[in-house]
Structure 1
Amino acid sequence: MLFDLDDTLLDRDKAVDNMFFIIFEKCYEDVKHTTKKEMLQRFKDYDKRSYGNSNKTSYGNSNKTKVLEGLFNEFPPKYRLPSQDLQDFWNNHFPQCFSVNQSTINILNSIKEQVKVAIITNGSTQRQKAKIINTNLNSYFDTIIISEEVGLSKPDKRIFELALNRLNVRPESALFVGDNLELDIGGSQNANIKGIWFNPHSIKNDTEITPFAEINSFEKLLSYLP
């Protein structure tokens, strides 16, 4: 069973919230509660725009300088981080904003007792490895493939085929679990792997991609084990 990382194994939305609070504590003082809520929403908007674009180009890499500069320009801080330090600040702090739900760990343990498991993720090697190590996910998986590291990115079918080769598994025997219809489900299906759409927020499917299955919780994965 193959897994996406962000917004599948890890709650990226929650991590973005945590990242905002780190920035807020470091750079701002005496901000009204209503303004703070508005700042958080705008920060998430900037990040979403950056994250969505980066997933489709450059192996999922993204320059987060624009996200932080957007926030600082719209809401001038008391202490402004130097522009040349913004990317390093993000790289150093964002991986620490992630945590793994204990129920996810329990289900992973149940799954790996029966089948081989792998992660395929788009993104920079530095940031994705840091997330995986900080959450100890590296101890649960047989192989982990990061797009920048291998020079391939989802939805390219070759990155899925690379995982199958490493696991010595045939495509018809594999399942891929991910939240992104185009990158995860469409990509895995291009490699003849059944794609399970992880859709906990009940997002409407407005694409032409038809997942093998749709789940809103990890517990339902157990029913697809042999």
Structure 2
Amino acid sequence: MPYQHIFFDLDHTLWDFDKNAEETIHELYHHHQLQVLGIHSPDILIETYTANNHQLWAKYHLGEISKQELRATRFKKTFMDLGIDETKVPSSFEDDYVRICPTKTNLFPDTHETLTYLHQKYHLHLISNGFKESTEYKVENTRLKPYFKNIIISEIVGINKPDKAIFQHALNLAGGNITESIMIGDSLEADIRGAKNIGMDAIYFNPNHLPKPEDVDVHIHHLSELKALL
């Protein structure tokens, strides 16, 4: 297929969300002395938070909760799950996390090398369900911005992936059409099925080697594999 436009997701696809979150929570665990509350290691906090955050983001993708609900719930539920009295949770924990995490710069291996290669052959674009301020900072801080002709952020557009409308909006900005475009992302629901629902090809980024669903045509475990596919 002679593609002209490649659309990338950001979090969990280029920007290593879990690794950056883990670093941030390690810092906050020690800063807020959470061992005093009975949380004996940052690892259990990270594990519980990661599970809760993934569930809440899935609901946010589908429009079931708002940005405010996501941010108000993820650490509150995490601390409750760990048996911590809500009144003892540091009041600034969420704000500290939101301030620090976007400053982290861990990308998946070979992100820059792969984007440099693709940028020479295709028009690259970004479609993120992330929030405006953090997404813009991540893209600038990791030197990703120059690769992308358009950066579409759902909070600005007012529509989340997998809604067909945000893909159509991205196509309109790109000046492309469905048959010459492809989406690359880690979320089966938001990225892969969202793209396929509008008729766009998609490649599932699957770094954790999860089983490939039957409705997924192509998956990769490493970004560098795109050089052989595109």
Q: Is the 8 A contact 2:25 2:97 kept in 1?
A: no
User: Structure 2 CA distance, aligned partners of 1:65 and 1:152?
Assistant: 21
Q: Is the 8 A contact 1:2 1:175 kept in 2?
A: yes
Partner of 2:220: 215
Q: Is the 8 A contact 2:57 2:70 kept in 1?
A: no
Superposed displacement of residue 193, structure 1: 1.2
Deviates more, 1:172-181 or 1:216-225: 216-225
Q: Is the 8 A contact 1:20 1:43 kept in 2?
A: no
Cα distance 1:176–1:60, how it changes in 2: closer, same or farther (>3 A)?
Answer: farther
Deviates more, 1:58-67 or 1:19-28: 58-67
Pairwise mapping of residues 140-179 of structure 1 onto structure 2 (< 5 A)? 140-179=147-186
Task: Compute the TM-score of the two structures, normalised by the length of structure 1.
Answer: 0.84
Is 2:122 aligned against 1:122? no
Cα distance 1:58–1:42, how it changes in 2: closer, same or farther (>3 A)?
Answer: closer
Partner of 1:53: 59
Amino acid at match of 1:185: I
Pairwise mapping of residues 44-123 of structure 1 onto structure 2 (< 5 A)? 44-57=50-63, 61=67, 63-73=70-80, 74-75=83-84, 80-82=89-91, 85-101=92-108, 103-123=110-130
Superposed displacement of residue 109, structure 1: 0.4
Amino acid at match of 2:12: D
Q: Is the 8 A contact 1:108 1:140 kept in 2?
A: yes
User: Structure 2 CA distance, aligned partners of 1:87 and 1:60?
Assistant: 16
Q: Is the 8 A contact 1:19 1:94 kept in 2?
A: yes
Task: Compute the TM-score of the two structures, normalised by the length of structure 2.
Answer: 0.83
Q: RMSD of aligned C-alpha atoms?
A: 2.6
Q: Which of structures 1 and 2 has the larger relative contact order (alpha carbons within 8 angstroms, sep 6+)?
A: 2
Deviates more, 1:140-149 or 1:211-220: 211-220
User: Structure 1 CA distance, aligned partners of 2:44 and 2:112?
Assistant: 34
Cα distance 1:111–1:10, how it changes in 2: closer, same or farther (>3 A)?
Answer: same
Q: Is the 8 A contact 2:60 2:66 kept in 1?
A: yes
Pairwise mapping of residues 165-204 of structure 1 onto structure 2 (< 5 A)? 165-204=172-211
User: Structure 2 CA distance, aligned partners of 1:21 and 1:27?
Assistant: 10
Cα offsets for 1:42-83 (capped at 9, x unmatched): 232332333332222269735323333344453479x8532x
Q: Which runs of 5+ in 1 are unaligned?
A: none
Q: Which runs of 5+ in 2 are unaligned?
A: 1-5
Amino acid at match of 1:141: F
Cα distance 1:70–1:192, how it changes in 2: closer, same or farther (>3 A)?
Answer: closer
Deviates more, 1:182-191 or 1:50-59: 50-59
Cα offsets for 1:87-114 (capped at 9, x unmatched): 4323211211342246110110000001
Cα distance 1:109–1:115, how it changes in 2: closer, same or farther (>3 A)?
Answer: same
Cα offsets for 1:138-157 (capped at 9, x unmatched): 12211100001011211112
How many percent of aligned residue pairs carry the same amino acid? 25
Cα distance 1:91–1:30, how it changes in 2: closer, same or farther (>3 A)?
Answer: closer
Q: Is the 8 A contact 2:124 2:150 kept in 1?
A: yes
User: Structure 2 CA distance, aligned partners of 1:193 and 1:146?
Assistant: 19
